[in-house]
Structure 1
Amino acid sequence: MAFAMTASFHFIRPEWLALAPVLMTLWWLVRQRIRERRQAATVVAPHLQSALTVDQGSSQRWFLIDHLTLLALCLVFATAGPTWSQQNSPWFEETAPMVIAIEVSDSMRSNDLLPTRLDRARFKVMDLLALRAGAPTALIAYAGSAHIVMPPSKDIAVITPFLESLDPAIMPEPGTRADRVMPLATSILGAEAAAGTLLFINDGFEPLDIDALAEFAATPETPSMSALVLGSDEGGVALLPDGTAVTQVGGGLLDTRVDSTVLNRVTKAAGVQVVRSTVGDRDIQRILRASESNLRAAEDPDAQWKDQAWWLLWPALLLSLLLFRRGWTF
């Protein structure tokens, strides 16, 4: 971090630095005059010199001109505007784009989270949208295929009815193909992809997803990825609206267990921040922090360099107060 600060250090108004050599030249000239006066004093008779000299015991090495020059240099460097960090524009910070990709598969009908994982996902999305008020959010639904439900919108009221209508029965292909989501998310975000976030809300990933996620993460100008994973490692029973249990191909109840091993591999291979769903909003707060971290890492074309002149105002103020020492200004 210290290296990064040093590499980016510069002055916003460097033209003011032209005063520094002028000040140093004036200081040197005045110092020369003081030295010449002291040398001239040695030619005066000793008995007269002792009568004419005030504070004979002092051997002054620091003069008022030294003090004034140091104070002036502080003010010159402060006016030049030292800086080493940028501040994003308010527009950039308030409009961090996010694409939410909700898994709408039969496993999301599981009742290990009441009423179901899919219902809990809807609640989490609404909480997230409320905290992101004013920021554009897009919605994708995916199972065996991925589809844009809502393009980027800042209006929560517009997104809500589409969110509530999501159901595995309307998805054209069964399955959980997370790899189908990523091209859609990139096309939605467009030029803002690097500053955006792709948030998966699902009950885990398939082992086949890992390579696709890692390849996507390694591609330049793509959004960062996070995942809010709902469900328990033990799983539950996925129930259809009529109350019958969902079965898998070949017979038996649908396996709805969350594979923590796969989640760890996804994090390690693709850098996806995986957050397990919790009661309350701790999980949503973690997602928001990850999104904000990605935004800070992205380049804002309208970012302004932060003027750090105030760091030099403190020594300048201290030097100004010391001017009022007795014998210097009065």
Structure 2
Amino acid sequence: MNFHNFHFLRPWWLLAFPLGLVLLSGLRQQKRGQSQWYKVCDRHLLGQLLVGEAETGSKRIYGFLLLMLLLATLALAGPTWERRPQALFRSATGRVLVLDLSLSMRSTDLPPNRLSRARYKAIDLVKAGVGIDQGLVVFAGDSFIVTPLTDDRATILNLLPSLDTNTVPVQGSRADRGLERAGELLRRAAVSNGQIILITDDADTAAVMAATELKKKGYRVDVIAVGTKAGAPVPLPESGYLKDDRGNIVVPVPDFAALRQIAARGGGHYYDIEAPDSTFQALNHPAALFPKKRKKSELTGDQWLDRGPWFLLPLVLLAAFCFRRGWLLLIFAVLCCHPAPAAAFNWHDLWQRPDQQAITAFKKKDYQEAAKRAKDPEWQAASLYREGKFKQAATALKPLTLARDHYN
């Protein structure tokens, strides 16, 4: 629980507390005026006469009523400090990150080395890919699937830091196999329009041909080039530097021309890994690249969770102590002012709010009932969309103004 986010959903209800204090004070004065002792005794003598159990009981009742007023006000104000899952729509596109794990990625021309910078960039892309199905492929002499397409970003983020040049058992630099594996991953997920982001420091003609074939199948290939024109030696894990057959130290320099050609043939864009972060923003909006493809999603996003109902539990217990004729009239009047709309009585209303009933119906795939019960426009729109009522779903989202609402 993060209490740094504590706030009230309906803070104007806090104004009811001072108003309730005024009404409670007036009610107490009225009760005193109705006492038979006030009719037969002088007021200056009542302080000596009204003592003992009756006066103590009266103070206890008013103490309970004051506490009940406070609890009722807090419940109506809607305290909250955490969020809950929220129904959204997302694009039917998916994307696969293809990460180079060849030995040349150990080169130190980009501090601390090329591979570390490539991992950092991949992590940034995954974090920013909210609502996008993402997968991860690595390659060196051959390619391997690390994660299939998923909307669980945490899984990919947990695996990325552990990837190293020793992860792939076959050494080499076969970017073409990485691209082919990414295309296979998109086909398995039945993604007809997908995005492939190749993060590497080298490429050849085979990789260019692979990108060309992927574009024909409806997939877009973007390239992030890793490395500098000067290059740098490749330190080995044990000691020394990578050398060729003649004993010369290898200084790998990226083939930027080939990498640009891959992006051009793949219908995507070329990026330098040292470019400003704002340059990569377009990579996180595949919906803009493929606007016509949309599909229904599971619950993503969030909204603030109302904790107000929990204050009703001690309120009910206190009401049992104060259950005397006339004493609860004020509290009942305040509770009747709750902003919830009137509805026919239902047995489930005793245990769940309408939005909770809507979630239950949504999970049971009873979308008609979910749309009927949902008070939240996004839940209602999601239920109508699942039911096939697309126009009504769009109408339900119109009053909302957040960026994700315009996206939906």
TM-score normalized by the length of structure 2: 0.47
Could you list the per-position Cα deviations for residues 97-155 of structure 1 after superposition, in whole angstroms to 9, with x for gaps in the alignment?
Answer: 21111000011001111111111111111111221134221111101100011122333
Could you list the per-position Cα deviations for residues 176-234 of structure 1 after superposition, in whole angstroms to 9, with x for gaps in the alignment?
Answer: 11221233223322354333211111113123322222123223xx4211111111122
**1:275 paired residue among 249, 271, 275:** 271
Using the alignment, how far apart are the partners of 2:180 and 2:114 within structure 1?
A: 25
| Match runs of 1:51-62 below 5 Å | none
Is residue 293 of structure 2 the alignment partner of residue 259 of structure 1?
no
**2:293 paired residue among 271, 290, 299:** 299
**1:132 paired residue among 111, 129, 133:** 129
**2:210 aligned counterpart, secondary structure:** helix
Structure of greater relative contact order (alpha carbons < 8 Å, 6+ residues apart):
1
CA contact (8 A) 1:194 1:224 kept: no
**1:144 paired residue among 141, 149, 161:** 141
**2:281 paired residue among 285, 289, 293:** 285
Could you list the per-position Cα deviations for residues 221-259 of structure 1 after superposition, in whole angstroms to 9, with x for gaps in the alignment?
Answer: x42111111111221221123452122344322232122
| Match runs of 1:169-184 below 5 Å | 169-184=166-181
Distance 1:157 1:181, change over 3 A: same
Using the alignment, how far apart are the partners of 2:193 and 2:215 within structure 1?
A: 13
CA contact (8 A) 2:223 2:262 kept: no
CA contact (8 A) 2:140 2:173 kept: yes
Equivalent position of 2:405 in the other structure: none
**1:205 partner letter:** A
Using the alignment, how far apart are the partners of 1:276 and 1:282 within structure 2?
A: 12
| Match runs of 1:6-155 below 5 Å | 91-93=89-91, 96-155=93-152
**1:271 partner letter:** G
Equivalent position of 2:48 in the other structure: none
Could you list the per-position Cα deviations for residues 264-315 of structure 1 after superposition, in whole angstroms to 9, with x for gaps in the alignment?
Answer: 33234333421111254134314225x343222x4336796889xxxxxxxx
Using the alignment, how far apart are the partners of 1:270 and 1:198 within structure 2?
A: 9
Distance 1:218 1:179, change over 3 A: same
Is residue 223 of structure 2 the alignment partner of residue 227 of structure 1?
yes
CA contact (8 A) 2:222 2:270 kept: yes
Using the alignment, how far apart are the partners of 2:245 and 2:205 within structure 1?
A: 19
Could you list the per-position Cα deviations for residues 47-82 of structure 1 after superposition, in whole angstroms to 9, with x for gaps in the alignment?
Answer: xxxxxxxxxxxxxxxxxxxxxxxxxxxxxxxxxxxx
CA contact (8 A) 1:275 1:287 kept: no
Using the alignment, how far apart are the partners of 2:235 and 2:279 within structure 1?
A: 26
**2:215 partner letter:** A
Could you list the per-position Cα deviations for residues 156-177 of structure 1 after superposition, in whole angstroms to 9, with x for gaps in the alignment?
Answer: 3322332122111231211111
Unpaired segments of 5 or more residues in structure 1?
1-88, 308-330
Is residue 240 of structure 2 the alignment partner of residue 236 of structure 1?
no
Q: By how many angstroms is 1:90 displaced?
A: 5.2
**2:236 aligned counterpart, secondary structure:** coil
Distance 1:170 1:259, change over 3 A: same
Aligned CA-pair RMSD? 2.8
Aligned identity (percent) is 26
The number of residue pairs the alignment matches comes to: 215
Runs ≥4 residues deviating over 6 A: none
Deviates more, 1:226-235 or 1:140-149: 226-235
**2:147 aligned counterpart, secondary structure:** strand
**2:211 partner letter:** L
Using the alignment, how far apart are the partners of 2:152 and 2:139 within structure 1?
A: 22
CA contact (8 A) 1:195 1:294 kept: no
**2:179 aligned counterpart, secondary structure:** helix
Using the alignment, how far apart are the partners of 1:158 and 1:112 within structure 2?
A: 30
CA contact (8 A) 2:233 2:249 kept: yes
